[in-house]
Structure 1
Amino acid sequence: MSPLQPSANSEVPPTLAKSLHDHWGVFLAEGIILILLGLAAIVVPLIAGLAATVFLGWLFLIAGVLGLVATFRAKHAPGFNWSLLSALAALIAGIVLLWNPLQSLVTLTFVLIAFFIVDGILIIILSIAHRRELSGKWEWMMVNGIIDLILAAIIISGLPGTLVWALGLLVGIDLVFGGMALVAVALDARNAPSALGRA
């Protein structure tokens, strides 16, 4: 058997490892951008009313567009459908927030709760897909999904007091953890084919 050919016990199929390796830069770029957007959301002062709706709407819209671009550029990576649905959830949340910026903070809060619940479930499913393929660092993705669900619970349990400070902070935390998960997966995938080649 050639040293370049994986054995029957190889952890990652060669085509999957090559796909992950070929697109690791896209995942890394998306992760870094999400981290930067998340940090921006955290440091922005308390936002209320119209400013909060417009600002958070654009954050979700940008995250959704970047997610769609990254997903279609790496469409052969595991969990494509779940990644696509996660990006669409962010995109739809952004469109809803920007459609009518005069909506009350209550409506904004329910949109955010819905996004965190849907995104959390989809990211958990995506992490399981990565675990099945042993692509590495799936635990970061699982943590991101769990954090989304925790954030939704925090907003629900603290209403109406959480409206004063939590919205921008929670979105920022969500984007930072999502970006960290993508960075971890990208850096692990970067070395996958070369590791097979040395085996």
Structure 2
Amino acid sequence: MSDPQSTPTNLPDMRSVVAKHWTLFLIEGILLVLLGIGAIIVPPIAGLAVTIFLGWLFLIGGIAGLALTFWARELPGFWWSLLSALLSLAAGVILIGWPAHGLFSLTIVLTAFFIMEGATSIMFALDHKRELSGRWGWMLAAGIVDLVIAVLIFAGLPGSAAWAVGLLVGINLVFGGSSLIGMALAAKPR
């Protein structure tokens, strides 16, 4: 029996793999940054693209769920599996057929996430303050910023639905792409 903590010796070193393919990481990073900038410049298009993409995921998942449910219909929970697959199909059809309505729903969920994330970050920061650990102020500030973002998005509804998801996806793409560019340049053979 092998130790799950040990790493197999036949796997290549991560540093050498990244160094060997650094140009691919660089290209991917640049592409993500460019897509992120595009999403930031035109957030409604990015938001609708995300909504339609999620719609396709739900639709494909619902079709697969239906097929598997009927294939294994003798298993317990048939009706719950059937209901789950139908709900996934319906969500997919709605998100693909009416992406603007789906974007509004995603914005509501995003607002709820920022409220929960902000409150959790603030409570986490206050716990760290009690334990006298350093840098708790940054966590407190992050929680407050999350709450401010949630208030701004919620106060701007329904108009904020047009830009909130696309803008946040764009920011995420820029930061993700930048990290890949940094990793690629650091791994570039000299």
Assess same fold via TM > 0.5: no
Please say which structure displays the higher CA radius of gyration: 2
TM-score, normalising length: structure 1: 0.41
Superposition TM-score, scaled by structure 2 size: 0.43
